[in-house]
Amino acid sequence: MSEPFLDSILRTRKVLVCCGAGGVGKTTSAAALGLAAARVGRRVLVLTIDPARRLGEALGLPESGPTPARVPGGFALDAWMLDPQVVFEGMVRRLTSDPERLQRILSNRLYRALSTLVTGMQEYTAAEALYTFVESGDYDLVVLDTPPSRNALEFLEAPRKLSLFLDERIVGVFLPGDGAGILAKRARQFVAGIFERVFGEGFFSDLQEFLGAFSGMFTAMRAHSQAMRALLTGPESAFVVITSPDPSALEEARFLQKHLGEMGLPFSGFVLNRSWAYTRGLGDPEAIALPDDAPAALRSGLRKLVGLAAAERELARRDRALLDELSARGAPATATPHLGGAIESFEGLVALAESFLIRGRVPDVFPPAP
C-alpha cells in the first residue's frame, strides 16, 4: 500500500476541506487531521460545524465562544465551532469605517435574522470564516469540517451565490431612489406591495433601510467573495472526501467527487474511515502454540480467537478491495484503522492522527487465509 497522500497535504497546504456523508466520522477525522498537522510543527485551526459532545470536550471546545479555543496537548492547535452571527458581525465591523453606519446595521431588526433571510448566507459565513482565518496569517493550515455532503455543496457555492445577490442591479430594486426611471419605480412599488402583504406593514421600509446601510459595502463584499472562490479553487487548497465501508456512504463519496470536479475544486482523494484495510498491530492466533497439557478451556478460547481472526481477515479483504476501487477512480485513497468505536478522547484523536502521517508501505500482519 502506498504512502498516505495526506502526509504531503498536511505539511504544505493552507486549506483542507473535509466533505462526506453524515455518520462516517467526518468531524472526528477533521480534528485528527488538524492534530496530525500540528504534530509536525504547523499552526493549525480546525473549524467544525457541530461536534459530538464528547468530541467537543476532547477538543476543549466551549459550547459557544467568539474566538477559537486551544486544544489541550501542547501543540499549536486551535478549534472553533462556527458561529454565523459572530462571523458576519466581524465582517461588517471590518468593512465599515463609519461608526454611525455600523450602529444602524447592528441595530436593524433584519440584521439579526439575516442568516435566514438570504439564501446561502449561513453557508457564506462558513466560507468567510475560513478565508478570514487563512488571510490573518495566524495559522499555517485551516481544516474545515463541512456539513453532510449535499449541504456541503451549498457551502462551496455560497461565495458565487452571494456575489450574484450583491449585484447592484438586483439590490437596486429594493433601494429608494427618486431619480430612478419609471420602470425601476414601478418594479420597486410592485416588490414593496408583495413584501407588505407577506411580511406585514413596515417590513419593506426596514429592508430598504438595512440594504441602504449595506450599500456602500457591496463592492467590497463581492470582491471578498471572489477572493474566497479563488482561494478554494487554487493550489493552496485541498478537498478530501471522508467515507466508510457502508454502501450508502460510498455512494455519497462518488457523488461528491463528481460534483467537486464539475465545480473546478481541487479534489485530492478519499479517506476510507473506520476500516480494516490496514491490519497493522493485529496478531496471528494460529501461530500460538499451546502446551500438550493445556486445559480444555484454554484450547476452546484459542479456537474462538482463530475464528475471530478469520472474520477480521475477511473484513480486511473487503476493505482493501474498497480502497482499490476508490483509488481506481483517478484519485489517491487511504484508510484509517477501526479503533473499536466512536473516538471520545484526546488519546483516540492521537491514534487516528498518527495513521495520517505513516510513511512507506504498510505491511500486512495477517498471513493469507488458509
Residue 194: pLDDT band by 50, 70, 90 thresholds?
low
Counting Cα atoms < 13 Å in the Cβ hemisphere of 238 gives: 24
- Which pLDDT score is estimated for 2? 47
The answer to whether the beta carbons of residues 90 and 131 sit under 8 Å apart is no
Name the 3-class secondary structure at 91.
Answer: helix
d(CA 69, CA 228) in angstroms, rounded, equals: 24
Residue 362 falls inside a structural domain:
no
In angstroms, how far is the first alpha carbon of the chain from the final one?
22
Closest Cα to residue 50, out of 66, 75, 30?
Answer: 30
- Which pLDDT score is estimated for 367? 39
Residue 300 falls inside a structural domain:
no
The answer to whether the beta carbons of residues 48 and 336 sit under 8 Å apart is no
d(CA 142, CA 155) in angstroms, rounded, equals: 16
The DSSP bridge pattern shows strands 69-70 and 77-81 to be antiparallel
- Which pLDDT score is estimated for 100? 83
- Which pLDDT score is estimated for 142? 97
Residue 150 falls inside a structural domain:
yes
Q: What is the pTM of this model?
A: 0.78
Residue 195 falls inside a structural domain:
yes
Cα 271 to the chain's mean position, in Å? 14
Tell me which residue range forms the domain holding 61: 6-282+311-357
**CATH at 230:** 3.40.50.300
Q: What is the pLDDT of residues 289-303, one digit of tens each?
A: 888 888 989 889 888
Can you count the helices (H) and strands (E) in the chain?
15, 8
Residue 21 falls inside a structural domain:
yes
Is the pLDDT reported for residue 359 higher than 50?
no
Residue 302 falls inside a structural domain:
no
Residue 289 falls inside a structural domain:
no
Mean pLDDT of 304-329: 88
Is the pLDDT reported for residue 138 higher than 70?
yes
- Which pLDDT score is estimated for 361? 37
d(CA 354, CA 192) in angstroms, rounded, equals: 59
Range among 125-139, 182-196, 273-287 with highest mean pLDDT value: 125-139
- Which pLDDT score is estimated for 258? 92
Q: Which residues are bridge partners to 334 per DSSP?
A: 271
Least confident of 53-67, 253-267, 288-302: 53-67
Closest Cα to residue 27, out of 113, 175, 152, 124?
Answer: 152
Residue 37 falls inside a structural domain:
yes
Share the mean pLDDT of the chain: 78
Domain count across the chain:
1
Is the pLDDT reported for residue 282 higher than 50?
yes
